[in-house]
């Protein structure tokens, strides 16, 4: 579905070091299995502890405290889902599909539908003429200024941090994946229906065992925390100062990967929970490198290290970068765009 940068597509000469990254594409079954164990086992244990805190009448604040690491593990589970979609987690396509569907149920995401849309995202990232599938809605200054007031209002609402990080995860994981898109094919529709049936079965099982109330009190905060973290990670991967955008005639996939995708340098513990996805510039160069090889590839190739990283502090600036100014070739805030007009 998604391809690495190729010599046929780039408009600038392909540097020699690109070839060196290919050596890291080989999946490792033992590493993949160990990641499943060291993530799913503690995730199940945290679920059990959260259920018991509710059943035994402990303060719900204790349940919420346990939801924080559980939400982090949910992000990591989504990375396995993501890698399976790229065919990189296991060497076996069947194993990747099985992991994709199972982790998709845990993250409320339909595997084939998400896989297709994410493949489109990789093929169009940074292309101003091919926005709209698998990405964050981004308008140019000119588009925003000429849009009807209803569109401007909707855009401002969707880019507001509260909507982005609170309502956004609920919509992105609970509501939107439940329905096929207008361009969904038979395979994508089937994955949506199967995922919906699995989610419904879990709800029925929960109602017959721990009770729906307990299930919601456990699942909802985990999904809110993990979803907010996941949405934020995806947002800053392509919404930052210095990001590359270009029209189709000038668009270069190599530049879109190196300059249009961020290197989000996180503390080691957060890097573990996020499955090394902060090395996103490398991921867009070689989408088939599994998460467990990304750091080694980055460490081995100096050219990848030349990219200026985002940190937790500098990434917060992205919240106020709302529009792309084609004249200045940079992201700007609503205030800056208004002052310019």
Q: What is the pLDDT of residues 214-244, one digit of tens each?
A: 999 999 999 999 999 999 999 999 999 999 9
Q: In Å, what is the CA distance from 44 to each residue of 75, 77, 106, 195, 290? A: 14, 12, 11, 20, 24
Confidence at residue 182, expressed as pLDDT on a 0 to 100 scale: 85
Phi/psi of residue 293, each to 5°? -110, -5
Confidence at residue 277, expressed as pLDDT on a 0 to 100 scale: 97
Confidence at residue 2, expressed as pLDDT on a 0 to 100 scale: 46
Confidence at residue 183, expressed as pLDDT on a 0 to 100 scale: 85
Q: Is the pLDDT of residue 213 over 70?
A: yes
Confidence at residue 340, expressed as pLDDT on a 0 to 100 scale: 77
Mean pLDDT value across the chain: 94
Confidence at residue 123, expressed as pLDDT on a 0 to 100 scale: 93
Per-residue pLDDT tens over the stretch 142-171: 999 999 999 999 999 999 999 999 999 999
Q: If we measure between CA atoms, which residue out of 32, 66, 72 comes closest to residue 50?
A: 66
Predicted model pTM: 0.93
Confidence at residue 10, expressed as pLDDT on a 0 to 100 scale: 53
What is the average per-residue pLDDT within 178-191? 92
Measured distance CA(84)–CA(199) in Å, rounded: 20
Element (H, E) at 155: helix 149-159
Q: Is the pLDDT of residue 4 over 70?
A: no
Length of the chain: 341
Confidence at residue 134, expressed as pLDDT on a 0 to 100 scale: 85
Q: Is the pLDDT of residue 6 over 80?
A: no
Least confident of 27-31, 193-197, 246-250, 336-340: 336-340
Confidence at residue 91, expressed as pLDDT on a 0 to 100 scale: 96
Q: Is the pLDDT of residue 132 over 90?
A: no
Confidence at residue 3, expressed as pLDDT on a 0 to 100 scale: 52
Cα atoms found within 13 Å of the Cα of residue 295, Cβ hemisphere only: 9
Measured distance CA(43)–CA(67) in Å, rounded: 10
């Amino acid at each position: 579905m998604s391809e690495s940068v190729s010599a046929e597509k780039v408009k600038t000469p392909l540097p020699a070091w690109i070839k060196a990254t290919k050596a890291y594409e080989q999946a490792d079954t033992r590493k993949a299995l160990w990641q499943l164990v060291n993530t799913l086992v503690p995730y199940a244990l945290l679920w059990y502890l959260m259920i018991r805190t509710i059943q035994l009448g402990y303060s719900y604040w204790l349940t919420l405290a346990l939801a924080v690491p559980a939400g982090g593990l949910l992000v990591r589970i989504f990375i396995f889902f993501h890698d399976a979609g790229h065919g990189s987690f296991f060497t076996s396509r069947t194993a990747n599909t099985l992991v994709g569907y199972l982790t998709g149920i845990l993250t409320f995401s339909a595997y084939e539908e998400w896989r297709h849309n994410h493949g489109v995202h990789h093929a169009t990232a940074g292309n101003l003429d091919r926005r709209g599938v698998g990405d964050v809605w981004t308008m140019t200054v000119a588009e925003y200024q000429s849009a009807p007031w209803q569109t401007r209002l909707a855009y401002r609402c969707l880019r507001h941090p509260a909507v982005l990080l609170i309502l956004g995860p609920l919509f992105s994981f609970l509501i939107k994946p439940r329905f096929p898109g207008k361009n969904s094919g038979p395979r994508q529709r089937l994955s949506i229906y199967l995922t919906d049936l699995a989610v419904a079965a879990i709800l029925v099982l929960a109602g017959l065992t721990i009770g729906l109330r307990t299930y919601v009190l456990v699942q909802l905060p985990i999904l809110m925390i993990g979803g907010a973290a996941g949405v934020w990670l995806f947002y800053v991967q392509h919404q930052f100062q210095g990001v590359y955008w270009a029209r189709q005639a000038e668009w270069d996939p190599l530049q879109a990967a190196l300059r249009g995708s961020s290197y989000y340098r996180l503390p080691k513990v957060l890097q573990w929970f996020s499955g090394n996805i902060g090395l996103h510039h490398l991921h867009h160069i070689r989408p088939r490198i599994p998460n467990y090889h990304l750091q080694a590839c980055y460490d081995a190739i100096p050219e990848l290290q030349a990219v200026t990283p985002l940190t937790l502090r500098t990434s917060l600036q992205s919240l106020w970068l709302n529009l792309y100014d084609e004249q200045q070739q940079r992201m700007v805030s609503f205030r800056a765009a208004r002052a310019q007009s």
